[in-house]
Structure 1
Amino acid sequence: MTDWLDWPFLEDRHRELYARVCDWCDSNDDDSHHDDVDAACRALVASLGQAGLLRLSVADRDKIPDVRSLAMTRALLASRSGLADFAFAMQGLGSGAISLFGSPEQKAEWLPRVASGETIAAYALTEPETGSDAANIAMTARADGDEWALNGEKSYISNGTIADVLTVFARTGEPGPKGISAFIVRGDDRGLSVAERIEVIAPHPLARLKFNGVRAELLGSESEGFKVAMQTLNLFRVTVGAAALGFASRALQEAIAFASTRKLGNGTLADHPVTQANLADMATAIDASSLLIARAAWQQDMGKQDNRRAAAMAKLHATEEAQKVIDAAVQMHGGLGVTKGAKVEELYREIRALRIYEGASEVQRQIIARDLLKEHRQ
């Protein structure tokens, strides 16, 4: 994952960041399966905060996060530890709406604490009956003096079991996207409870949350919540592809190392033409994803054009191809590939969710196609 350091999309500061993140990874080498995921995430957030890496994911003096820095960090973290990438990414996503739309007072209260690792953030959009159909969320919010009261449920909320602050989306008006507003909720509010801890194939602190008259503070303007949600997701969409790139790159490394030592006849597995063809396909898919991610991140940082199509392409290609790369690595490992404790088995579980969250692959295809058709009609 070093050849792209010299690409024109990156600057010297990104190359310096690469070294910093690698140093953190070397000092926090953790490939283990965690019995207490909540405690592990808290420790990772604290460590990333102490290293100054979480400052990359929050606004700095009204300047939004640098997407190239986020993407590089996620790719490197994911290549070492899926949980470390998760901890880093959720601090950004959970506070992203505050970075983009928060008042000066809201930014001053929350962003330094998120950046230091003192406060754990969460992003609460998904509901039990609405996944990709975010425009039709059912949670309600009613004005109550200077605050709002939230009632309803959110589901599959990352950091839901440990969050200190949550960005929550609720309905304040008419059906559809125009009736949604965004809110800031404190994790210790007495009306907020964990209704269910959700266990998934790659252990993360996910939960279904119950809101019973939860006190909330309006984030941005009333009825612009859908825009807040979508712009926040768009800010971090490319970085999901970067995490997939990290997983895929690690899978290729594991496959090369295994094939080079696995005896087969008078040689090794790496000497076999089929293995070589598979390795070539894996490397080509990874490089293609790298280029799409670099382009999309650079466009987003330059701010010169609407990059929704490029971001969607980057996420779609990187996550879908990473799934294939990791599957090929598992296949190459044979029985060891599906044995708990093997790195490729862990990667196989980690990659699957990336094709779903922050915009499923089907949604990304819709974004790309609609943008192409819109361009054709102009």
Structure 2
Amino acid sequence: MEGIVTESNLSTLKRTVRSLVKDHVYPVDRNGVQFSDEITKELQQKGKQSGLWLMGTKKELGGAGLSFYDRSVLFEEQVQHRFGLSKPAGLAFGNDLPSFLEKCTSEQVDKFIKPAVQSGNGCFVGVWEEIENNNIGQLVTTATKEGDYWVINGEKSYVANVDKANFGVVLAHCIHENEVKPTLFIINKDESIIVKDTMLIDVQKVSQLTFNSYKLHDSQRIGDVGEGVSLINQWLTESQLEIAAKCIGIGKKALNLGIDYAKLRITRGKPLAEFPTIRTMIARSATELESARQLVGSAAKKLDEHDRNAFTLVAMAKLHATEVASKIIDNIFQIHGGMGFSGDAPLERWYKELRILRLNYIGSETLIEQIALHYFE
């Protein structure tokens, strides 16, 4: 477990993040202006000065080493702006590195991890393929041993951050001693990997990676041969908690936008805020948001404690938080009317991004099955 800060210190960190977003991020992106590389570098300098650089990365590697609970609280603050779901706080605190990289050798740390920590660009992770349906057992990408090298063949789909990342990680089925053993490998970014980019409903860029006899040295293997499933499952759990925490922040921001607009918009001679239907929308949204927040916090604490039920609680948190945030956005659209679709409001972007997040890493249907399995096993 990473170190959990006191409630008093956590409140101070929340104010730090909130202030950075309000003073330096929101003025840039409130009108739909994307962050330039120059602005991102300026924000990241402030992020480093705050002591919150790479919040979840271990201190030994150059990160802040915060607990899952602390990060979940701070994510709620980071995402409360137009591009918050894809670029929390304008990437002021950098892209965290996956926890499975703690398995890296000292040579791998020097060659790959330290440069990524310095740049804050993180890495990309290729796990899923178009045909697997969230089932690692159905993956078909293979790695065959040839002396001190592995030869990878196959494709990985829906991979994010390929263009910016310092390096990549891919999960492949090793053909080892006549057995199939899922294993993680660090891969270099080079032209021998065929990259095809796609935009998902205009808001998220992902890539398909094709490996045709891609050759890498055994020194780029992460952990033992066959350890890939346990390492990737832990990362998937942590990533889903992150999504859930982000949804709380977006839900909160959208709810506040709806409340403010309901006070201003006059219909039939009085503000929308005075109509029972609107008041019901706001009250139910606030209640559901708080229930999701409590579930996310509980799941984060269980993950910090390495509780055996953490996996199920995180699945519940991601399922509930994404659905609650989506419902809140839908309600706030109703309150805004046609104005909700204008470029002045970020609601349309959030609506699209949340729809993607309900499928991201592990889809809602798979999460429901995993939760049910926990109770019926």
Q: Normalising by the residue count of structure 2, what TM-score does the alignment of the two structures yield?
A: 0.85
1:213 aligns with 213
Question: Aligned equivalents of 2:54 and 2:174: distance in 1?
Answer: 33
Question: Which one of 110, 113, 126 corresponds to residue 111 of structure 1?
Answer: 113
Q: Is the 8 A contact 2:76 2:250 kept in 1?
A: yes
1:21 aligns with 17
Give the counterpart letter for 1:185 in structure 2.
I
After superposition, the Cα gap between the structure-2 partners of 1:296 and 1:47, relative to the gap in structure 1 and judged at 3 Å, is same
Q: Cα RMSD between the aligned structures?
A: 2.9
Answering whether residue 247 of structure 2 is matched by residue 244 of structure 1, we say yes
Map 1:35-54 onto structure 2 (within 5 A). 46=44, 50-51=48-49, 52-54=51-53
More helix by share: 1
1:366 aligns with 369
Query: What SS does the aligned partner of 2:87 have?
Result: helix
After superposition, the Cα gap between the structure-2 partners of 1:23 and 1:213, relative to the gap in structure 1 and judged at 3 Å, is farther
Answering whether residue 132 of structure 2 is matched by residue 141 of structure 1, we say no
Give the counterpart letter for 1:20 in structure 2.
T
| Ranges of 4+ aligned residues in structure 1 off by more than 4 Å | 37-49, 62-65, 86-90
**56-65 or 235-244, which deviates more:** 56-65
Equivalent residue pairs, number: 360
After superposition, the Cα gap between the structure-2 partners of 1:209 and 1:31, relative to the gap in structure 1 and judged at 3 Å, is farther
2:58 aligns with 59
1:310 aligns with 313
Map 1:47-196 onto structure 2 (within 5 A). 50-51=48-49, 52-61=51-60, 66-80=67-81, 81-85=84-88, 91-92=95-96, 95-99=98-102, 101-173=103-175, 179-187=181-189, 189-194=190-195, 196=196
Question: Aligned equivalents of 1:160 and 1:239: distance in 2?
Answer: 20
Query: What SS does the aligned partner of 2:143 have?
Result: strand
Question: Aligned equivalents of 1:42 and 1:191: distance in 2?
Answer: 30
1:225-268 alpha-carbon deviations (Å, 9 max, x no partner): 12211111112321211111111111101100110000012210
Give the counterpart letter for 1:18 in structure 2.
K
How far apart are residue 275 of structure 1 and its match? 0.3
After superposition, the Cα gap between the structure-2 partners of 1:113 and 1:225, relative to the gap in structure 1 and judged at 3 Å, is same
Q: Is the 8 A contact 1:139 1:153 kept in 2?
A: yes
Map 1:261-280 onto structure 2 (within 5 A). 261-280=264-283
Q: Normalising by the residue count of structure 1, what TM-score does the alignment of the two structures yield?
A: 0.85
